[in-house]
Amino acid sequence: DIQMTQSPSTLSASVGDRVTITCRASQTISSQLAWYQQKPGKAPKLLIYKASSLESGVPSRFSGSGSGTEFTLTVSSLQPDDFATYFCQQYSSFWTFGQGTKVEIK
């Protein structure tokens, strides 16, 4: 089974900050990685797929990079609506999610 490890678990930031979340796969997954945003009581929302492709309708301040085993999600300028929990997910071999990164207000 492929394990996904995200860091940090919690991130405190202010509006306008540039934030980066890291995701590491236990074995190579090429670019078969997605990022999701989830708010309390809501379903996850797809942000990024194929490691760096922006889902339609997602603001361009979100970007993804990486391949193989190391990946990052970057928010270039954090907005009030972006305070949420973010999950990475591999879909190279079945599906596995990272444990999540909560982005909270500093």
Q: Site residues (CB under 8 A) for other proteins?
A: 1, 32, 34, 36, 42-46, 49-50, 55, 87, 89, 91, 94-100
Looking at beta carbons only, is 63 or 76 nearer to other proteins?
63
- Give the nearest distance from C-beta 47 to other proteins in angstroms: 11
* Per-residue three-class SS string for the chain: CCCEEEECCEEEECCCCCEEEEEEECCCCCCCEEEEEECCCCCCEEEEECCCEECCCCCCCEEEEEECCEEEEEECCCCHHHCCEEEEEECCCCCEECCCEEEEEC
- Give the nearest distance from C-beta 23 to other proteins in angstroms: 13
Q: How far is CA 90 from the centre of its chain?
A: 11
Looking at beta carbons only, is 25 or 34 nearer to other proteins?
34
- Give the nearest distance from C-beta 64 to other proteins in angstroms: 13
Looking at beta carbons only, is 17 or 55 nearer to other proteins?
55
- Give the nearest distance from C-beta 44 to other proteins in angstroms: 6
